[in-house]
Structure 1
Amino acid sequence: MMDKGFYFDQQSFSTLFPFYFIMDKQQRILNFGPSLKKMIPELNYNDSFDLFFHFKSPIFLKNAAEITVEKLEGTLIVLTVLNHTKTFLRGQMIPYGDDILFIGSPWVSSIDELAEKKLEMTDFAIHDTSIDMLNMLRSLEISNNDLKYMVHAITSQKRELQRDKEEIKKLSLVVSTNENGVVLTDINGEVFWVNEAYMSMTGYREESVIGNTLYRLGVSEFTDKTVLDKMLEAFRKAEVFDYEVIHKRADESFFWARIKGHPVFDNLGNFIEYYTMIEDITHEKEMQDRLKESEQRLRSLILNLHDGILLEDENRKILLVNQKFCSMFGIPVAPELLIGSDCTNSAEESKDYFKDNTHFISRIEQILSDKQPVLHEVLELVDGRVFSRSYIPVVIDNVHKGHLWTYEDISLERHFQDSLNNEKEKYRRIIENMNIGLLEVDNDDRILMANQRFCTMSGYTPEELEGKKGVDVFLNEDTKRLLTEKSQLRRSKISDSYELEVRGSDGEERVWLVSGGPNYDLTGSVIGSIGLHFDITETRNLEIQREQLLERLERQNRQLNEYAQIVSHDLKSPLRSIHSLITFIKEDNDKEFNEQTAKYFNLIQEKVEKMELLIQGILAYSKIDSPTSRKESIDLNDLVRSIESIIYIPNHISLQIKRPLPTVKEDLFRMQQLFLNLISNAINYNDKSIGFVEIDVEEEPLRYIFSVRDNGIGISTRNQSRIFKMFESINGNEKSTGIGLNIVKKILENIGEEIWLISEEGVGTTFYFTLQKHDKRNPKS
């Protein structure tokens, strides 16, 4: 036992605390002092605590299993020694490493009890106050006997010898040895003799005491006047009294005193004086107050516990019940009103709460008959709740004094456990039937468990796998190193996924996707790892084919774009030539052509112009998906003005920007095509004598909502879903190629934006589309 530099071997410790014992958490007595063994000869090492001891105080500790550091702290422990009549140990329990140390001594009230317990003074430690108390009791007994004898002797001779001074001197010598205060008063209450102990106790001088009264000497403002009246009444009647009151000192301080008064009579039975003994019981009172406070705290704790508490006496009368118990059983009265009620009737009234109500009553009767502790017995109620019931008998001095019932609502825990069990069962079935190979290994990579799917994947049986190392069974030399590195990660509590090339039992090379993680025991230590295995051999082959296909498609796409550029150039050149030739023919022969021929030439010219527009639209469409797009800051106000300068806008149609447009970060070509096609579409389909195209924007926290509104011909509801399709022109406009709105929709879809419209036929159309303030595909942009 070492603490702050002090060390005691077992012999030294036994000398200091000869009645100690040490108990482990399993309630086994590991060691004990020699005097304890002498008092309890049948005590041996590793005996159970409950075999020899029972808690008398504090009342909330009934057995060693309930001992905790918090309950022990600052608590006086009183143990009843079983099978030894009226034998108690008084002391304290303190934590000693993982064990519990009890230090104390027997609680004895007289020297005669020592012999009954086979003990001697030498069996106690020298510092033990029990020795002093026993000596004091013996001295007090002798002194009191001598004192009474002397008082009676002196009293009988008092009148004849007129208080013989020699006898008084003898009396003084005897009484002076008493540690308690002794005061002799006459029939008027005036003190005529006092011992040194009283003066030391009160701080009074002898001259202040002699001739005075105990009333004037001892009464303070804190003294209970009711008790004083009882003492005075007993004094006047010459009766024996024994009271506890507050006694004043000379310095106006006070102490608790036990005052015992004995009247003294002469040979004729006349009351002649009073012998009074004053004992300082302040420490005892403090201990009683602390005990009461402790009892009150314990009572308050019980009353406010989360569990329902019911304490009954041996006749099943209620001693204590808390509000939680009343709430659990729907008792509509205050707990204190139930004190003294008969629990036999209460149990009968409460049985209908439980599913098996007949068994509820019979089980209570059986428990009360057995008088053995019952812990956490589960009861199911008809309303779906689940209670845990415990029963603890209260035994004092081997006599059954009552019993404590505790009820805990464990509905949530039970339902949680049921759900957990259901989940476990569900996942067990899933694991058994899932198309995932499950493998559990220890820290040495030895296989502990493999499910059926893993065995199918690997071609091995569970018997062929268990106990073997995965690196020796599946892996080639190139992948063994990878699995060793992953095993190190598991020991470091790191999970990850990786691909593993393996060799099956048939020698075929396969590719597995492995998701591995550490496996823990209940203490949180890594005991191995668990891996989920997917056979991705076919997927890998498909990926390789897909990559090859994508590469081929990319090459073909590049060739098609190049071809589109060439075709566009080669087609536009003869179209321009045809257009020029028709213009020359019309100019040279305008007067010679008849009306029908001129009409044909105009129709040819329009078709050539439309074909050129179609070629330009197809070329623009082919560039939309180009991966070489470059984002830059674009002032949309400048963009709209540049479009206004390059397209033909009739004089009767105006282009307006209602509110200033923002600057966005997008591809310039795509933004030009977006606004160009929407504005051109609004102009081409405007049939009003005074037309307009209005561009506006609304700002939201994360995006802009743009609108392009016109007062043109409008679009019927049945045609609104068709206008974004390729080569769809629903109004037969000669200038329409059926490509423009399809280009607009494709641009917005490629950058993750939306477009929609609101239109009324004959009134006009408004196209709405969104642009994010930041690129959703790259938030840092």
Structure 2
Amino acid sequence: MHKLEFNFGELSFNKFFPFFILIDPNLSIQGIGKSLAKIAPQIQITDSFFNHFSIVRPYLEELSYTTLVENQNQLIILKLKNDEIVLRGQLESLDQNLLFVGTPWFVSMEQVLDRKLTIHDFALNDPLLDLLHVLNNQNNTTQELKESLITIKEQSKRLENKSEELKRLSLVASTNENGVLFTKPDGTIFWCNEAYMKLTGFSKEDVIGKTPIEVGRTEFTDRESLRTMAELFFEGSIFDLEIVHAKKDGTYFWTRTKGQPIVDSFGNVTEYFAIIEDITLKKHYEESLKKEKEKYSSIIANMNLGLVEVDQNENIILANNSFCKMSGYTQEELIGRNAPKLLKIDAENKELNTRIENRKQGISDTYELNVINKNGEKRHLLISGAPNYGINGEVVGSIGIHLDITDQKKQEEQLYLLSLIAEKNLNGVLVCDKIGRIEWANSSFLEMTGYSLNELIGQYPGALLNGPETNPETLEYLKNCIIEGLPFSCEIKHYTKYGEKQWVSINGQSLYNKENEIIKSFAIIENITSRKELEELREELLESLAVSNKELEDYAHIVSHDLKSPLRSIHSLLSWIKEDNDKEFSPQTLSYFSMIENKVEKMDYLIEGILTYAKIDKIHITNEKIDSNEIIENIIQIIDIPENAQVVINNKLPIIRGDRFRVQQLFQNLISNAINHNDKAQCLIEIDCKESNENYIFTIKDNGPGISKEQQQGIFTIFQSYSKDEKSTGLGLSIVKKVVESYQGEIWIESELTKGTTFFIKLNK
């Protein structure tokens, strides 16, 4: 989950905490709430904090910035010097400063009115507002009681019998809903009303003759509060405090206890009465409210969601920084503007109009909405909206929390598309959890295996699908790859639900979250049974072909030997006949003999070429470093080059890797062809090479007759010859092509009739 963060300006912050104080490390005041400034106008920015405030609670031996920092996250009670105002709250760090957030503690409405404070000077969520209402009611009650007591006093002057006076007073106290006690000057109780006994569970016998402290004290009662009450009592002063009071069953409840002395005409205290009000619910409410405030403050402080407050006309009143970033507008550009118009929402948008009406009816809800920000970008927002209430409980607008889910919506669309692709894939698709248990399979996989989805979910594929011929090493490989989060690719035999054996190809990998933790894995399973059967058949055919090739090769050697032997004999016999009968044969006969010799030589070249072509991919290939420059120069030395022909090496040729015999065959055939088929008075063959990161490209260029476009397609075909030379066998370029292909290279030509031909040979490094 993303970290939440709120950013408030001073105006917005004052709405929640109008009595705050901002203190820097030098204990100088850097800011105060608007309501605190109103009741203490003597405080100036940069004044020393301790010049205006003293700390009542907790007790601090040393008044310094460090001790204040150490007392964060607990109740702090401040007293404004030269005034009776008490502030209750807590300290929080804010960058290098300390922020005191709290509220004043007034015990009567007179204190509020004397300082010209109104309800608008308090935060709307401040429990003190409720407390002041309670105080006002209690003051009214106390005033009424005082008036009753005055009446009783006046009556007591007219009545000589004091018991009659107490009787009448007891009638007044008895009708009070709160507990009422009367004590003697020494503090012992001599009367209590029914409400007090109902609140505490004590009987009159449990109470009469004891002091209120003896009756009400518990282990949870604050000793300091007891001491304060006792001191005020024996001073004959009024007291009003909140304190825990015991019940007979051992439990306790929170009370607001107000005491009032009764004096005679000489001002001497003759009796004391106290009103005990049960404020347990109020205390629980205050505690709950405090927790809610703390939680709300924490949410505000860490919130990175967009917060917007609008009035009944949808005009923006408040917007936080996150919403500014989300919308692209500044706060100045947002405040006072109509939200739907600013975000280019259609006025007829039924979704939004329904939500606006819901707010007016006091209904909260969540919905999604498409908007356009300041930059013209379409954004998709998730909005949680709630009505905003005024001080009198009426709906005055609404508050919305906005989350930009544009990226999530795109991901949802992509995931939906991927799920469609996966479902419609002809191959099986499996999705497993991080330890390899199946979570989902597409219909192709179900059809492939015969299992239903319910039968597959939660199962390990290996345990469910393996069988007698399943390779255990491949299973272990898959298991390790999934656990370690590695991609995997293999072929394995598995078995369908009905025991049918299948060859499958499995390719897959793990999926990670943003914390780089494995969350799932997926695999694509292809049924390759038919392909495997073909491969097995191919292997059988290859083995059979290898045997046949060996037999053919042996046969070729035998045939070539048997053919070459009579050819050599024929050539020798022709030579002997010509030598022995040189003068007896006519010129025509001698020309016939020459033709026979030429045919015999061509036949010999043809047999030799066939053997060479057949042996190219049969002989052992060495892979050594070869100086191609040296190879070309050796070829130039050993082949027959006419006086009108010239072979030129244009630059230093590279050192390549290969088989020396094959490389020599390659270049010798090309150079010989270029010389033998040249029709120019001056024959020129140019050899060059260009090198790249991946390969070498050699060129053999001649200035011969050229090759037509039609003939270029077939020049590398075996026995195909376009030369008029009787000795041409049509095998030379076929041998060249076969050598190049044995090195996974390429060969092609560029040629134009009468202007020559260039052969290109690409050999990989």
Q: TM-score, normalised by structure 1?
A: 0.54
Displacement of 1:418: 2.5
Secondary structure class of the residue paired with 1:765: strand
Structure 1 counterpart of 2:611: 619
Displacement of 1:738: 0.8
Residue of structure 2 aligned with 1:370, choices 348, 357, 361? 361
Q: Does 1:604 align with 2:596?
A: yes
Is the CA contact (8 Å cut-off) linking 2:316 and 2:334 kept in structure 1? yes
Displacement of 1:92: 6.3
Change (3 A) 1:644 1:508: same
Amino acid at match of 2:361: D
Identity of aligned residues (%): 34
Displacement of 1:704: 2.3
Secondary structure class of the residue paired with 1:742: helix
Amino acid at match of 1:754: E
Q: Does 1:574 align with 2:572?
A: no
Larger RCO (alpha carbons 8 Å, 6+ apart): 2
Question: What's the Cα RMSD here?
Answer: 5.5
Structure 2 counterpart of 1:426: 421
Amino acid at match of 1:714: G
Q: Does 1:714 align with 2:710?
A: no
Return the alpha-carbon distance in structure 1 between the equivalents of residues 525 and 316 of structure 2. 64
Q: Does 1:357 align with 2:354?
A: no
Residue of structure 1 aligned with 2:721, choices 718, 725, 729? 729
Return the alpha-carbon distance in structure 1 between the equivalents of residues 324 and 757 of structure 2. 73
Displacement of 1:76: 11
| Higher mean displacement: 617-626 or 556-565 | 556-565
Is the CA contact (8 Å cut-off) linking 1:77 and 1:93 kept in structure 2? no
Structure 1 counterpart of 2:274: none
Residue of structure 2 aligned with 1:751, choices 743, 748, 752? 743
Structure 2 counterpart of 1:685: 677
Structure 2 counterpart of 1:211: none
Structure 1 counterpart of 2:106: 109
Amino acid at match of 1:425: L
Residue of structure 2 aligned with 1:628, choices 613, 620, 627? 620
Change (3 A) 1:693 1:495: closer
Displacement of 1:721: 1.9
Change (3 A) 1:685 1:541: same
Change (3 A) 1:397 1:526: same
Return the alpha-carbon distance in structure 2 between the equivalents of residues 394 and 463 of structure 1. 49
Displacement of 1:370: 3.2
Amino acid at match of 2:592: Y
Secondary structure class of the residue paired with 2:678: coil
Is the CA contact (8 Å cut-off) linking 1:329 and 1:350 kept in structure 2? no
Amino acid at match of 1:90: G
Structure 1 counterpart of 2:90: 91
Structure 1 counterpart of 2:757: 765
Displacement of 1:642: 2.4
Secondary structure class of the residue paired with 1:357: coil
1:450-469 matches, within 5 Å, as 453-454=444-445, 456-458=447-449
List per-residue Cα deviations over 1:668-698 (Å, max 9, x = no partner). Answer: 1111110110011011111222222222223
Return the alpha-carbon distance in structure 2 between the equivalents of residues 452 and 325 of structure 1. 45
Return the alpha-carbon distance in structure 2 between the equivalents of residues 635 and 556 of structure 1. 37
Is the CA contact (8 Å cut-off) linking 1:442 and 1:448 kept in structure 2? no
List per-residue Cα deviations over 1:209-249 (Å, max 9, x = no partner). Answer: xxxxxxxxxxxxxxxxxxxxxxxxxxxxxxxxxxxxxxxxx
Structure 2 counterpart of 1:668: 660
Return the alpha-carbon distance in structure 2 between the equivalents of residues 657 and 673 of structure 1. 18
Is the CA contact (8 Å cut-off) linking 1:696 and 1:707 kept in structure 2? yes
1:502-541 matches, within 5 Å, as 510-513=502-505, 533-541=525-533
Is the CA contact (8 Å cut-off) linking 1:438 and 1:453 kept in structure 2? no
Structure 2: tracts of 5 or more residues without a match: 4-14, 21-70, 77-85, 94-99, 112-130, 139-177, 179-211, 240-296
Structure 2 counterpart of 1:415: 410
Structure 1 counterpart of 2:28: none
Return the alpha-carbon distance in structure 2 between the equivalents of residues 509 and 459 of structure 1. 12
Return the alpha-carbon distance in structure 2 between the equivalents of residues 480 and 528 of structure 1. 24
Return the alpha-carbon distance in structure 2 between the equivalents of residues 527 and 368 of structure 1. 41
Amino acid at match of 2:693: P
Return the alpha-carbon distance in structure 2 between the equivalents of residues 666 and 640 of structure 1. 15
Change (3 A) 1:770 1:597: same
Amino acid at match of 1:704: Y
Structure 2 counterpart of 1:4: none
Secondary structure class of the residue paired with 1:724: coil
1:243-392 matches, within 5 Å, as 307=306, 310-312=308-310, 318-320=316-318, 336=332, 341=336, 346=338, 353-355=344-346, 357=348, 359=350, 362-363=353-354, 365-379=356-370, 386-391=380-385
List per-residue Cα deviations over 1:100-144 (Å, max 9, x = no partner). Answer: xxx99984134899995799999997899xx9xxx9xx9xx99xx
Is the CA contact (8 Å cut-off) linking 2:679 and 2:705 kept in structure 1? yes
Return the alpha-carbon distance in structure 1 between the equivalents of residues 454 and 627 of structure 2. 72
Change (3 A) 1:58 1:685: farther
1:483-494 matches, within 5 Å, as 485=476, 489=480, 490-491=482-483, 493=485
Change (3 A) 1:456 1:729: same
Amino acid at match of 1:662: P
Amino acid at match of 1:91: Q
Change (3 A) 1:88 1:363: farther
Secondary structure class of the residue paired with 1:560: helix
Displacement of 1:659: 1.9
Displacement of 1:317: 6.2
Structure 1 counterpart of 2:731: 739
Amino acid at match of 1:336: E
Return the alpha-carbon distance in structure 2 between the equivalents of residues 575 and 701 of structure 1. 50
Q: TM-score, normalised by structure 2?
A: 0.55
Amino acid at match of 2:89: R
Displacement of 1:743: 1.2
Aligned residues: 518
Amino acid at match of 2:666: L
Amino acid at match of 1:108: W
Amino acid at match of 2:750: I
Structure 2 counterpart of 1:642: 634
Amino acid at match of 1:109: F
Return the alpha-carbon distance in structure 2 between the equivalents of residues 514 and 567 of structure 1. 50
Is the CA contact (8 Å cut-off) linking 1:393 and 1:403 kept in structure 2? yes
Displacement of 1:701: 3.3
Displacement of 1:764: 2.1
List per-residue Cα deviations over 1:33-65 (Å, max 9, x = no partner). Answer: xxxxxxxxxxxxxxxxxxxxxx944999xxxxx
Displacement of 1:744: 1.0
Return the alpha-carbon distance in structure 1 between the equivalents of residues 311 and 452 of structure 2. 66
Is the CA contact (8 Å cut-off) linking 1:635 and 1:664 kept in structure 2? yes
Return the alpha-carbon distance in structure 2 between the equivalents of residues 709 and 748 of structure 1. 18
Secondary structure class of the residue paired with 2:545: helix
Is the CA contact (8 Å cut-off) linking 1:515 and 1:532 kept in structure 2? yes
Displacement of 1:552: 1.7
| Higher mean displacement: 353-362 or 712-721 | 353-362
Displacement of 1:711: 2.1
Residue of structure 2 aligned with 1:549, choices 537, 541, 550? 541
Change (3 A) 1:610 1:124: farther
Displacement of 1:715: 1.7
List per-residue Cα deviations over 1:296-341 (Å, max 9, x = no partner). Answer: xx99x99xx895x65446787654468998999899xx863775x4
Return the alpha-carbon distance in structure 2 between the equivalents of residues 464 and 749 of structure 1. 52
Return the alpha-carbon distance in structure 2 between the equivalents of residues 611 and 319 of structure 1. 104
Change (3 A) 1:74 1:593: farther
Amino acid at match of 1:419: Q
Amino acid at match of 1:770: K
Change (3 A) 1:614 1:456: same
